[in-house]
Amino acid sequence: MKITSRLTNIFLALAPVLLALLFTTLILVVVGASPWEAYRNILAGAFESPEKIADVVAACVPLILCGVGMSITFTAGQWNVGVEGQIILGAIFATWVARNLLWPRTPVLTTMLLAGVLGGALWGTLAGLLKVYGKVHEIFGGLGLNYVAQGLAIWLIFNPWKPADGATMSGTDPFPDPAWMPRLGHLRLAPLAVLLALVVVVVAYFLLRGTRWGLELKALGKNFRSAFLLGVPSTPRLLTAFAACGGLAGLAGAIRCSARYGRMIPEISGGQGYLSLLVALLAGYRPQWVPLIALFFAAVGVGSPRLELNMHLDSSLGGVLEASVVLAVMIVNGWRALVARRQAQQAEEELA
């Protein structure tokens, strides 16, 4: 019985990937391309050299931070789609520090990262306040705040932070050297950023699994009203969940400024917030699985431009593969939930 159950769980875990590959393969066959060559090009584009591997790992960092943050709000039963704006606010706060505090590297980087966390946490808390006190659904509130944050970033870059050469589309002037996060040799990878992301995963795992705060968030996510009636301080817990998610997204924004671009650019979020939503969904809202899922998304993102170069296929096919995996996971999870409900109903009927 245990062996059968284990095999079933393994099959259900692999089924979404197999379904996504099947769907993408059918698309490739229809357009007359070789599926084998397409997948080989994606893998080669992501892992063929140390530079590419470093790019994949670097791309994982914001996905991990935001994915873990979204896992926290999902645990509390909230869809915090305002992560894009929280990334931007973190980047804005970090940029202000980089431009105004001409300190040595260690204190200025520390202050930038903390400022990024603060900016994202404030923007996340605002989304929570709109939800709790304004009765604005978190999806609509988050999307609205994303547009406000994007508008604020563009205004800052085109006005008070306008670069000396006037090329506003490339962002602000480069940060002073101490505000750049140290990279690994000539690679575009900051080891400190990777370390911070992994520490966040471990801390979030233990917070959600083994603390009163984590258990109360789970209770709110399962049944908000019942948790409230049992004495869970619902409003403070929801606000801390939004603040924690926003803080991690803000940290991602600060890292993208300091480790990747060395400046504030108009599209600093780069769609990482929306992509991290898929990461969190695929990870089942469990922080320990976020790095692995983020690695998959990062590898596809870095490797898919090879399709256009070598096979004359649009690189957006990588996005089709990513979305197909998420859709397949949701289908399989829905089927599992349906089977579980039917089994529970049958058990109740037998007892009756």
Three-class SS state of 207: helix
**Average pLDDT in the chain:** 90
Residue 339 pLDDT more than 90? no
pLDDT over 70, % of the chain: 96
Residue 5 pLDDT more than 80? no
Closest by Cα among 236, 317, 256 to 59: 256
The residue type at 144:
G
Farthest-apart Cα atoms in the chain, separation = 79
Higher per-residue pLDDT: 102 or 249: 249
Give the total residue count for the chain.
Answer: 352
Q: Which tokens hold the place of 133?
A: 């006190």
The mean pLDDT value for 333-349 works out to 77
The predicted pLDDT at position 352 comes to: 61
pLDDT tens across 108-128, in order?
Answer: 999 999 999 999 999 999 999
The mean pLDDT value for 164-191 works out to 90
Q: Which tokens hold the place of 137?
A: 């659904």
Residue 88 pLDDT more than 90? yes
For residue 175, what are the CA distances in angstroms to 7, 67, 145, 157, 269? Answer: 53, 27, 27, 13, 18
Contact 22, 15 (CB under 8 A): no
The predicted pLDDT at position 326 comes to: 79
Residue 265 pLDDT more than 90? yes
